[in-house]
Amino acid sequence: MPPSRFPIPQGTLDMLILQILSLEPAHGYGIAQRLEQISRSVVQVNQGSLYPALHRLEQKGWLQAEWKQSETGREAKFYSLTPAGLAQLAVERDSWAKLSGAVQLIFDEGAAQ
């Protein structure tokens, strides 16, 4: 039975996109596939969320894009991290680690009672 799917918490998609692109440049469909693959199908992003997020990250200067031929032979916009995007990913990772650690402490306290 496949894992259940649930909405990505607000503000998380940008961080996940930055993380995927820290591995290698990719086009939008490739980013969505990689997120689904790595998360074992728990994280599934639709185009209506993904492409606006990519555009927003590009406008912030965290991504750069160039048109290249994809593995299917079609032209696709490939995204990669800029130095500012790499720095932002470090900030996002740190914030996420602090938040998830604090949430775990709260859950642990509740389980202890």
Confidence (pLDDT) at 54: 97
Confidence (pLDDT) at 4: 59
Q: pTM of the predicted model, to two decimals?
A: 0.88
Closest by CA position to 19, among listed 46, 53, 49, 47: 53
Confidence (pLDDT) at 6: 65
Confidence (pLDDT) at 5: 63
Confidence (pLDDT) at 8: 82
Confidence (pLDDT) at 9: 81
Confidence (pLDDT) at 105: 94
Confidence (pLDDT) at 1: 47
Confidence (pLDDT) at 3: 53
Confidence (pLDDT) at 11: 82
Confidence (pLDDT) at 7: 74
Contacts of 25 (CB under 8 A, 6+ apart): 78, 79, 80
Residue 65 CB neighbours (<10 A): 17
Q: What is the mean pLDDT of each run of 10 residues along the chain (113 residues)?
A: 65 95 96 95 91 97 95 93 98 95 91 71
Q: Please, is 24 exposed, middle or buried when counting C-beta atoms within 10 Å of its C-beta (0-12, 13-18, 19+)?
A: exposed
